[in-house]
């Protein structure tokens, strides 16, 4: 069950700084992934989601198609803060994840974030039947996200 949308999450990140659509996409992906990992116990019973929109494994990394449609007019330019009309009030648990994601990944630029996602199993697994530059709209698996990031949590 999700109480928010990908747009809500994107707005929160964009309220922090201007950034390119690609960077917003990657931060939204990491927020989704870490929330999923930290708020579920078993990969066969994933019930707590940050949002319900699908995340796909595109050439340049994880993408929420609805966000792509919303921000494509900016191309490689930064999305101005003025674009954001409303920033939701998030509950403490969600806000904690958003802050941690921003602190961890916010210092990277869009190309660095793309490179990081290209080395991680969830994106790689979704694209395994595709060449590096081939278009793909395969969904990134929630169970693989949970498994991959869960292992990273247990290593700490």
- Alpha-carbon distance 24 to 8, whole Å? 12
Residues 6+ apart with CB under 8 A from 29: 55, 61, 62, 63, 64, 117, 140
- Which residue reads 């019973």 in tokens? 45
- Alpha-carbon distance 29 to 126, whole Å? 14
- Which residue reads 């928010």 in tokens? 4
Query: Within 13 Å of residue 89, how many CA atoms lie on the same side as its CB?
Result: 0
pLDDT of residue 1: 63
pLDDT tens digits for the chain (156 residues)? 678 999 999 999 999 999 999 999 999 999 999 999 999 998 889 999 999 999 999 999 999 999 999 999 999 999 988 767 788 889 899 999 999 999 999 999 999 999 999 999 999 999 999 999 999 999 999 999 999 999 988 765
- Alpha-carbon distance 13 to 108, whole Å? 13
Q: What is the pTM assigned to this prediction?
A: 0.95
């Amino acid at each position: 069950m999700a109480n928010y949308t990908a747009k809500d999450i994107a707005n929160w990140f964009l309220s922090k700084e201007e950034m390119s659509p690609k960077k917003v996409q990657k931060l939204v992906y990491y927020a989704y992934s870490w929330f999923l990992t930290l708020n579920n116990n078993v990969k066969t019973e994933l019930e707590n989601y940050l949002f319900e929109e699908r995340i796909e494994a595109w050439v340049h990394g994880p993408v929420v198609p609805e966000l792509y449609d919303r921000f494509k007019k900016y191309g490689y330019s930064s999305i101005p803060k003025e674009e954001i009309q409303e920033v939701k009030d998030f509950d403490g648990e969600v806000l904690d994840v958003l802050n941690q994601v921003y602190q961890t990944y916010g210092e990277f630029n869009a190309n660095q974030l793309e490179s990081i996602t290209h080395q991680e199993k969830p994106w790689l697994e979704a694209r395994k039947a595709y060449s590096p530059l081939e278009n793909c709209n395969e969904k990134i698996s929630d169970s693989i996200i949970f498994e991959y990031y869960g292992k990273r949590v247990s290593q700490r």
